[in-house]
Amino acid sequence: MSKIEIKNVYKIFGENPEKILPMVQKGATKEEILEETGHTIGLDNVSINVEEGETFVCMGLSGSGKSTLIRHINRLIDPTSGQVSVEGTNVMELNEKNLIDFRRHRMSMVFQRFGLFPHKTVIQNVGYGLEVQGKKIDERNKIAMEKIEAVGLNGFEHQYPNQLSGGMQQRVGLARALATNTSIMLMDEAFSALDPLIRSDMQKQLIDLQAQLKKTIVFITHDLDESLRLGDHIGILNDGKLVQVGTPIDIIMNPADDYVSAFVKDVNRAKVIKAKIIMVSANKFNGSKNINTIKVNEDSFIDEFLPKVCLTQATIEVVDKSGNIKGYITDKELSTALTKNHSNGVFKSQK
């Protein structure tokens, strides 16, 4: 059973969505529905499964339905038709009391504009979800400080949001989501308001935290590089329809249609392809090793080690977090990975 299951969900905005639903199910487009009925299609027969411990990224242009989709998971929006299940619970069957409890204890949310209380300090903001859960102040302050340290804000716990930079405020939002210790995190354009350098830093921080915590994360973005960098699987939406679901490599190498192709055509592959994707497994490697060897973590992106390799012409030894050798990368694998028009056969055995 998947952690989150969304089955055949339709969402139509307007005065009489149930009456319009059959037209959508028969294939009427978003433009036709809007012109003929004044209703707007938010989601059109969307089905996804999110597995436990993975980061699932939903991406698309503005108006594609991605934010509408994530709000179905915690039932901020009810579907016109379809089913939403979380850990086996049919979210649509929850009464008001159970729904409130579900939101408090089963999942947390990180917003684009931080959503911090301006009159509360960092530690009070981080501990707010615990306060709602009824935790005593000593316990929630202890947990809040642990999460503040986890996101690199130690020493700022008594500051107010207006005393922090945008990136620091978003760290507070992330710490608050972590503090409630829910197994599911919903992140709606969480880094979109940040400057590029701060955004990149937050992405790395999330990757590092996720490697430790193994939360189930649904992350919404309109940025392809961000989705490829963060996602274990990516779902691409267009006009409310799910046009492709796959791993980052699937999306790059085998775009489903012209819409996806337009997204990926200029992608910087070095920023989104990890060492473990292109390496030759240690037990299959029979090439010659250069006298110079560089060790890289299997989850390192190519751009993190490419400059050093270019300078030294070294063979790359790919290791896991314990230092065990997992495989090797030579010039051949690097060249194949970074060339736009090539077969994806090199990736088959590693994902």
pLDDT tens for 171-219 read: 898 889 888 888 899 998 888 877 888 888 888 888 888 888 899 999 9
DSSP H helices in 115-257? 122-126, 128-132, 137-150, 166-179, 196-213, 224-230, 248-253
262/285 same-domain check? no
Domain contains 101? yes
68, 67, 19: which is closest to 39 by C-alpha?
A: 19
pLDDT above 90: percentage of residues in the chain:
47
At residue 94, the pLDDT reads 94
191/101 same-domain check? yes
Of 267, 291, 324, the position where a domain reaches its end is 267
Residue numbers of the domain that contains 257 = 52-76+95-106+182-267
How sure is the predictor about 244, in pLDDT bands with cuts at 50, 70 and 90?
Answer: very high
Radius of gyration of the chain (CA): 22
225/324 same-domain check? no
> How many independent structural domains does the chain possess?
2
Averaged pLDDT for residues 142-166: 91
Return d(Cα 138, Cα 131) in angstroms, integer.
Answer: 11
233/194 same-domain check? yes
Give the pair of three-digit tokens for residue 314: 């070294």
Whether the Cβ atoms of residue 216 and residue 54 lie closer than 8 Å to each other = yes
Of 220, 247, 267, the position where a domain reaches its end is 267
What is the CATH classification number for the domain harbouring 252? Answer: 3.40.50.300
Q: Is the predicted pLDDT of residue 346 greater than 90, yes or no?
A: no
Q: What is the pLDDT of residues 63-117, one digit of tens each?
A: 899 999 999 999 999 999 999 999 999 999 999 999 999 988 888 888 777 678 9
Contacts of 70 (CB under 8 A, 6+ apart): 58, 186, 188, 218, 220
What is the CATH classification number for the domain harbouring 278? Answer: 3.90.1280.20
At residue 54, the pLDDT reads 94
Q: Is the predicted pLDDT of residue 345 greater than 50, yes or no?
A: no
340/195 same-domain check? no
Domain contains 26? no
Q: pTM for this one?
A: 0.79
193/206 same-domain check? yes
Q: Is 18 exposed, middle or buried (0-12, 13-18, 19+ CB in 10 A)?
A: exposed
275/339 same-domain check? yes
221/238 same-domain check? yes
Q: CA angle, 186 as apex, 183 and 191 as ends, to 5°?
A: 125
Domain contains 47? no
Q: Is 180 exposed, middle or buried (0-12, 13-18, 19+ CB in 10 A)?
A: buried
Give the pair of three-digit tokens for residue 173: 């939002």
Domain contains 131? no
Domain contains 144? no
Residue 51, classed as helix, strand or coil, is coil
286/308 same-domain check? yes
Q: What is the pLDDT of residues 251-300, one digit of tens each?
A: 887 889 999 988 888 888 887 788 888 888 888 887 666 667 888 999 88
Of 227, 246, 267, the position where a domain reaches its end is 267
Rounded to the nearest 5 percent, the helix, strand and coil shares of the chain are 40, 25, 35
207/102 same-domain check? yes
Domain contains 163? no
Domain contains 318? yes
Give the pair of three-digit tokens for residue 278: 């292109």
Domain contains 282? yes
263/311 same-domain check? no
280/242 same-domain check? no
